[in-house]
Structure 1
Amino acid sequence: MNTKKYLAQKLFLAALFILPAIVLGQVNTGLPSLELKTGIYRIQAEIADTPQAREVGLMNRTSMPINSGMLFIFEQKAGHCFWMNNTKIPLSIAFIADDGKIVNIEEMQAETTNNHCPKAAVRYALEMNKQWFSERVIVPGSVISGLPRR
């Protein structure tokens, strides 16, 4: 097989796998991810479990796939508050107790510095596209399964 034809085939195959991911916003960020579930819905969640990853969060992104989000994991249960400085997309955040039950959900506007805090001490917070939870009738008391145990 000639080299040009071989390279063309390799590029074509690479494009088949890479372009859909780019179009869907699934660009590899280097963060680990896991699948979470709530009711009939599956969520592909990037994990922010280090101080650096939690500090950056979803800053400077311009889109996020529909059923994707970011799970923030803290070492200690506390009133971990969030804001949207340098975050370009509006988000919803669910604060989650250790048993997976959603404590409260907040809607957050892009590029704001308003604090959004849990109504009880939590170890987990899940950010999704704005109104993701309300559009699926996921409310406080609903359970998120698949959370890593600490």
Structure 2
Amino acid sequence: MYKIYRSAGLFSPAFFCPSGWRAAARAAVFSGLLAAPIWACAQALLPTSTLQIKGQAVEAEIAATPETRSYGLMNRQSLPENHGMLFVFEQPDIYCFWMKNTLLPLSIAFVDAQGRIVTLADMQPQSLDTHCPAEPVQYALEMRQGWFTARGIQPGEQVKGLPRAGQPRAGQPGAVK
């Protein structure tokens, strides 16, 4: 998934592999040893957090860096039930999403800094249509399309268990799982 930084007017496509994996992955690709795409390393290394929305538990991968937010759920073939991706931004703003290179139909909840869902939207695979919140948000939660509707979750609901921007990342003391 690409993210549009509306305030800067920039598109931010990025392919994420932690620095320790970049050289090894590049060497494996060039030598023909890597059967899976490089993006697979991003899926295995993101920290997770359990969120609660209207009594429903969500296991969310945390995308809290520009690289992980830009890549999002691109190229995923499936998403387990009650799993999603939480995008964490440093400060509230209008963050818009599109679905280029995203193969799964998704629903997105735009969440403000207080944990309140302000906007919900369904997004179609590989679409360049942009989806933006109605007001500044600090989080966006992507789930399988229809997940929020099937559970009666609407704008105004609280999301509990949200990590704060700047919290330690995986591998650092105090990191989310």
Superposition TM-score tier, normalisation by shorter sequence: 0.7 to 0.9
Aligned length: 124
How many Å separate the matches in 2 of 1:93 and 1:72?
A: 10
Give how far 1:29 is off: 1.8
Give how far 1:99 is off: 1.2
The answer to whether the aligner puts 1:79 opposite 2:85 as a matched pair is: no
Give how far 1:148 is off: 1.2
Kindly report which structure 2 residues correspond to 1:102-113, keeping only aligned pairs within 5 A, or say none.
Answer: 102-113=117-128
How many Å separate the matches in 1 of 2:125 and 2:72?
A: 13
Give how far 1:40 is off: 1.7
Match of 1:101 in 2: 116
How many Å separate the matches in 2 of 1:149 and 1:54?
A: 15
Identity %: 50
Q: Pick from 110, 114, 120 the counterpart of residue 129 of structure 2.
A: 114
Match of 2:45 in 1: 30
Question: Residue 149 of structure 2: SS of its match in structure 1?
Answer: helix
Q: Name stretches of at least 5 consecutive residues in structure 2 with no aligned partner.
A: 1-42, 166-177
Amino acid at match of 2:151: R
CA deviation map 1:130-149 (0-9, x unaligned): 01000000000011100112
Tell me the TM-score normalized by structure 2: 0.68
The answer to whether the aligner puts 1:51 opposite 2:66 as a matched pair is: yes
How many Å separate the matches in 1 of 2:146 and 2:44?
A: 24
Question: Residue 54 of structure 1: SS of its match in structure 2?
Answer: helix
Match of 2:162 in 1: 147
How many Å separate the matches in 2 of 1:66 and 1:119?
A: 27
How many Å separate the matches in 2 of 1:82 and 1:67?
A: 21
Give how far 1:102 is off: 0.3
Question: Residue 97 of structure 2: SS of its match in structure 1?
Answer: coil
How many Å separate the matches in 1 of 2:55 and 2:121?
A: 22
Indicate the structure (1 or 2) with the bigger Cα radius of gyration: 1
Structure that is richer in helix per residue: 1
Give how far 1:72 is off: 0.1
